[in-house]
Amino acid sequence: MTLVRFAPSPTGYLHIGNARPALLNALFARRTGGRFLLRLDDTDPERSTEAFAQAIREDLAWLGIAPDLFARQSDRKARHDAAADRLRAAGRLYPCYETQEELERRRRRQLGRGQPPIYDRAALQLSAEDRAALEAEGRRPHWRFLLEAREVAWDDLVRGPAHVDCASLSDPVLIRADGSYLYTLPSVVDDADLGVTHVIRGEDHVTNTGVQVQIFEALGAAVPVFGHHNLLTTADGEGLSKRLGHLSLRGLREAGYEPAAVRSLAVLTGSAEAVRAVPDLDTLAALVDLGEISRAPARFDPAELDGLNARLVHAMPYAEVAPRLAELGIPQDRAEAFWLAVQPNLARVSEARDWWRVVAGPIEPVITEEAVIAAARETLPPEPFGSDTWKAWTAEIRNRTGAKGRGLFMPLRLALTGLEHGPDLAGLLPLIGRDRAERRLAGGAA
């Protein structure tokens, strides 16, 4: 069975760029009848926090992603240590003692000579006595993986035939001098142990794949299928990071965006499909074909999210939104009529609260065109107000004053709502009610 994974580090809040690989993996699992693994890559104890780990789960749940499996890398250190020991025994993991300053000086010399700035494997020439002397000085080794100088090729789910020439790469550091692991080895070990069959991730990992394939092979593990998709960037081409709080999933949720709008933008941007509001995951999964994702950067405009969100809100049935209206403090007995009246003017469901304040008041009416307002007070019909009340009332005002168009409707809108724009007053008037309307037409706060 297909098993995919999303493996964030709990060092910050997820942003819309992180939503892209999370969703592409979840939708691939849904499309293929597979399973989705959430794995927290929390091997950095100084930056990883339980608060961020919980936030990741909450954000995925908000997107509609329910992991089938869950794992933490920090729980699997014994497996990482065993794999490191195997690689040492096989001669593929070797100790190095250079400081960062020494390595930087070497890189500068190589560049000055027109040579590629890759590690020269000087540590392989050290004798046991040399290593003992360095450790006696207080140096502790970091550990590099010995790459085979060959090309690693694979059939990429997104890019098609792909390859990395490992002869052009430095032997990667897998273990720091303090004994902590970098991303590379734990990721391979966990993918192998947990049975991950497909690794779908951003194109910034293409070079890592060449390295990781060699580690899979050195450990005698099955190599998964890889797919590397383009990355979401801002409209200016700026990369996304956890520092962009306004684009964090938490920030978008708190701002009132619908998860379906975020899903649609995160997945369809930079694909062969036109970006549009897709309300459910099954439909979105049917649309997403990894082989049709563009190789160009997936540029998105945050303003596009507003349009997607508005289209979803405008199509939202009352039954779906009723619990949310109750949370906004809108009385249940008036909520459906209110929703139908204001829905076309909403970009976010949360904006309904503002329009309820206009209905229930108090507001400060704005009185203009005294003749129109006077005629309005004189002809204000008795209750009950219905769907035809507004049309009949304004017709009577027009007959008395001769006002029409904007000259008729704007003074009434300003008096009844205090605003120059808003929902159709034919729907709002029955909600405002006669008593409140009469007080507002008289210029009083109501």
pLDDT in tens, the chain (446 residues): 999 999 999 999 999 999 999 999 999 999 999 999 999 999 888 889 999 999 999 999 999 999 999 999 999 999 999 999 999 999 999 999 999 999 999 999 999 999 999 999 999 999 999 999 999 999 999 999 999 999 999 999 999 999 999 999 999 999 999 999 999 999 999 999 999 999 999 999 999 999 999 999 999 999 999 999 999 887 776 666 655 555 899 999 999 999 999 999 999 998 888 899 999 999 999 999 999 998 888 888 888 999 999 999 999 999 999 999 999 999 999 999 999 999 999 999 999 999 999 999 999 999 999 999 999 999 999 999 998 999 999 999 999 999 999 999 999 999 999 999 999 999 999 999 999 999 999 999 98
pTM: 0.90
Contact 93, 124 (CB under 8 A): no
* Residue 128 forms part of a structural domain: no
Q: Looking at the structure, tell me whether residues 329 and 255 fall in a common domain.
A: no
Beta-bridge partners for 144: 94, 173
Q: Looking at the structure, tell me whether residues 296 and 346 fall in a common domain.
A: no
Q: What is the pLDDT of residue 23?
A: 98
Q: Looking at the structure, tell me whether residues 160 and 74 fall in a common domain.
A: yes
- At what angle are helices 434-441 and 425-432 packed, to 10 degrees? 100
Task: Report which residue type is found at 372.
Answer: V
Q: Looking at the structure, tell me whether residues 351 and 433 fall in a common domain.
A: no
Domain count, the chain: 3
* Residue 97 forms part of a structural domain: no
Q: Looking at the structure, tell me whether residues 297 and 323 fall in a common domain.
A: no
Q: Looking at the structure, tell me whether residues 248 and 343 fall in a common domain.
A: no
Report the CATH number that the domain containing residue 62 is assigned in CATH: 3.40.50.620
Retrieve residue 346's tokens: 């909403």
* Residue 109 forms part of a structural domain: no
Q: Cα dihedral sign for 158, 163, 166, 170?
A: negative
Per DSSP, helices labelled H in 328-433 are: 332-342, 352-360, 370-379, 389-401, 406-417, 425-432
Q: What is the pLDDT of residue 246?
A: 58
Q: Looking at the structure, tell me whether residues 66 and 204 fall in a common domain.
A: yes
Retrieve residue 193's tokens: 């142990």
Q: Looking at the structure, tell me whether residues 405 and 346 fall in a common domain.
A: no
Residue 85: CB partners within 8 Å, gap ≥ 6?
A: none
Phi, psi of 111 (to 5 degrees): -65, -40
Report the CATH number that the domain containing residue 413 is assigned in CATH: 1.10.10.350
* Residue 424 forms part of a structural domain: yes
Counting Cβ atoms within 10 Å, is residue 244 exposed (0-12), middle (13-18) or buried (19+)? middle
Find the length of the chain: 446
Contact 5, 53 (CB under 8 A): no
* Residue 1 forms part of a structural domain: yes
Residue 91: CB partners within 8 Å, gap ≥ 6?
A: 146
Which among 297, 326, 360 is the end of a domain?
360
Q: How far apart are CA 430 and CA 357, in angstroms?
A: 15
Q: What is the pLDDT of residue 297?
A: 80
Q: Pick left, alpha or beta for residue 237 (phi over 0 → left; psi -120 to 50 → alpha; otherwise beta).
A: left
Q: Looking at the structure, tell me whether residues 224 and 247 fall in a common domain.
A: yes
DSSP 424: -
Q: How far apart are CA 261 and CA 256, in angstroms?
A: 11
Q: Looking at the structure, tell me whether residues 37 and 70 fall in a common domain.
A: yes
Q: What is the pLDDT of residue 234?
A: 78
DSSP three-state, residue 268: helix
* Residue 375 forms part of a structural domain: yes
Q: What is the pLDDT of residue 233?
A: 84
State the DSSP string of 89-144. HTT-EEEE---HHHHHHHHHHHHHTT-------GGGG--HHHHHHHHHTT---EEE
Per DSSP, helices labelled H in 229-331 are: 249-254, 259-268, 281-287, 302-314, 318-327
* Residue 125 forms part of a structural domain: no
Q: Looking at the structure, tell me whether residues 345 and 279 fall in a common domain.
A: no
Q: What is the pLDDT of residue 243?
A: 53
Q: What is the pLDDT of residue 285?
A: 96
- State which residues form the domain around 404: 370-441
Contact 65, 27 (CB under 8 A): no
* Residue 349 forms part of a structural domain: yes
Q: Looking at the structure, tell me whether residues 392 and 324 fall in a common domain.
A: no
